[in-house]
Structure 1
């Protein structure tokens, strides 16, 4: 009898130890900061016409219906959290008005996009009004992460928009990976018209913004070459913080992506010690069809994995 009691006690002790060390498969999302988003989507270039066109296409009644549906399905979601996530979805829509295809890197944002799709007629009306075609929500059947695409997403996003602390919570860590070499080679060698054809939507809408992004990338590649040749130092942002730091960091990302790819994360960690290692939650998504469902893994911070993308009528990816 004594041996039986000892065996039971040992068994319970082992169960306690194992249970204590098992991590839950789904991390709890951290709450966003309850503060107003920047005006005009925090756009950092002359893009007011884009913002106004988006606001006209995305009607208040449509947004209100989507909001009611989202809040009904998620009782713990606060109004301001919905508004912040919608804010980032609008930024995503702006990026889609410029680029041919934009992967989705946020479960939070993707969830609202899914709910928008449930209102089929409203979504079609919005999409055709803003894009002149249906912006399809398409699955990415690749099972491996796409850090190169995430890096280009980060570069475009930070070239267009002011970064906020809630942006980092919603999208996960920025500038975690080097930009894909093929993208950098294209922007270095291809003329503007070829880059417009390969990477951007084939229309005249917001052409100045598209050309601005092309010029900016070409200039940063040129500056990287100057640094490599010793014509100028890369420099260190000792007193920079917030948006100013990230604006500077984009040039460093281009340089390290070209010339120090293997040590990219080490260099960026040194450049942004207070920011680079803070890994927000709530990223990642998984799709299996036109209206796909969110991943059960909300741990975030993969900074490169995604199974969803957007695609216009002429896009094949």
Structure 2
């Protein structure tokens, strides 16, 4: 074989090596992308999800109202659409996502603004929105007006941290903490309630003085007013205990006891905000599921509440106070997210 032939043969060999290398790397990337999800998927052996709200919970009345507000064919239609669009989701994981979406809607009835901190839950909401007529019916029946899904526009990091702090405390007071819920929303209690807001909250004589709660639903929905009153009463009791109490005896927080969890969150936010995340460290048995959490959508919705303090009539909520930002779920960056959340 002459020199030219050898050169051509070598070039063919090099080309073959590059082609084989390309497909090996591509296959490896695909396996790496899929394998962690399979290994860390917390819903593989998950139990059935709990009720949206247990009897005796401040949210129980709102949960009953929500179920009665859903058009009869909508839940099955949403399930079928999600399972078609996301074939990797198991039936059990979908059931948990659906429960958490309904809890999100209840939070929209209680809070003035609620970021959507879970990409997984937001995906279900997106598919629900495809049924525009039925979704409009649901919004009108449940909240008395349309619950819009609005894209975020970006905001300061500290603002989103405060939003997450309030989300955590009010969510746990309404529904309790659960490791599978945390796997969807991301780790709870990474940031403290802001001290300045706690100061204002302590001196407020009525809920209307605190803009964290939804004045639209409070004035129109008895179930929302009851839930808001109970949430505020519980927070004030824990704040009073935090002012006069001593630190919890245990070095790590028992996330399986909601009363201990909430009392610890308020106490450490009041006294040790600079060291809050370390002091709220959960016992080891509660950390496995949340390690692979799918939270971090960090988006907003609009018009589930009063339409904003400056515009009570049109259900707006598209101003700076309802924009999304970074560090929304345990420090993950969400500055470029889109989607929705609940803001009034």
For Structure 1 versus Structure 2, the TM-score category normalised by the shorter chain is 0.7 to 0.9
From the superposition, tell whether residues 112 and 56 of structure 1 become closer, same or farther in structure 2 (CA, over 3 Å).
same
Deviations 1:275-311 (A, max 9, x none): 3685332111166999xxxxxxxxx754785765534
Which among 120, 126, 138 is matched to residue 150 of structure 2? 138
Which among 111, 123, 126 is matched to residue 114 of structure 1? 126
From the superposition, tell whether residues 288 and 137 of structure 1 become closer, same or farther in structure 2 (CA, over 3 Å).
closer
Larger Rg: 2
| TM-fit CA distance, 1:40 | 4.7
Q: Is the CA contact (8 Å cut-off) linking 2:185 and 2:295 kept in structure 1?
A: yes
Q: Is the CA contact (8 Å cut-off) linking 2:58 and 2:230 kept in structure 1?
A: no
1:191 aligns to 2:191 (yes or no): no
Deviations 1:223-278 (A, max 9, x none): 11113xxxxx223258985531x431222221221221111122122x64543685
| TM-fit CA distance, 1:185 | 2.2
Q: Is the CA contact (8 Å cut-off) linking 2:208 and 2:215 kept in structure 1?
A: no
In the alignment, structure 2 segments of 5+ residues that lack a partner are 1-9, 303-328
Q: How does 1:152-191 map to 2 (within 5 A)?
A: 152-191=166-205
| TM-fit CA distance, 1:46 | 4.6
Deviations 1:15-50 (A, max 9, x none): 99xx8xx99789637241432112353465254321
The higher relative CO (CA closer than 8 Å, separation ≥ 6) is in 1
Provide the residue aligned with 1:209 in structure 2: 227
Q: Is the CA contact (8 Å cut-off) linking 1:44 and 1:159 kept in structure 2?
A: no
What is the DSSP-based 3-state SS (H/G/I as helix, E as strand, rest coil) of the residue aligned with 1:77? coil
CA distance in 2, matches of 1:42, 1:288: 26
TM-score (norm 1): 0.77
What is the DSSP-based 3-state SS (H/G/I as helix, E as strand, rest coil) of the residue aligned with 2:187? coil
CA distance in 2, matches of 1:56, 1:159: 23
Q: Is the CA contact (8 Å cut-off) linking 2:248 and 2:264 kept in structure 1?
A: no
TM-score (norm 2): 0.71
CA RMSD, 1 decimal: 3.5
From the superposition, tell whether residues 288 and 211 of structure 1 become closer, same or farther in structure 2 (CA, over 3 Å).
closer
Q: Is the CA contact (8 Å cut-off) linking 2:189 and 2:265 kept in structure 1?
A: yes
Which among 194, 200, 211 is matched to residue 214 of structure 2? 200
| TM-fit CA distance, 1:182 | 3.6
Provide the residue aligned with 2:326 in structure 1: none
Q: How does 1:11-160 map to 2 (within 5 A)?
A: 28=37, 30-32=41-43, 33-42=45-54, 45-142=57-154, 145=157, 146-160=160-174
Q: Is the CA contact (8 Å cut-off) linking 1:44 and 1:161 kept in structure 2?
A: no
CA distance in 2, matches of 1:197, 1:165: 30
CA distance in 1, matches of 2:300, 2:237: 39
Q: How does 1:245-256 map to 2 (within 5 A)?
A: 246-256=258-268
| TM-fit CA distance, 1:124 | 0.7
CA distance in 1, matches of 2:244, 2:301: 46
CA distance in 2, matches of 1:161, 1:234: 25
CA distance in 2, matches of 1:184, 1:274: 31
| TM-fit CA distance, 1:187 | 1.1
| TM-fit CA distance, 1:143 | 5.4
Provide the residue aligned with 1:221 in structure 2: 239
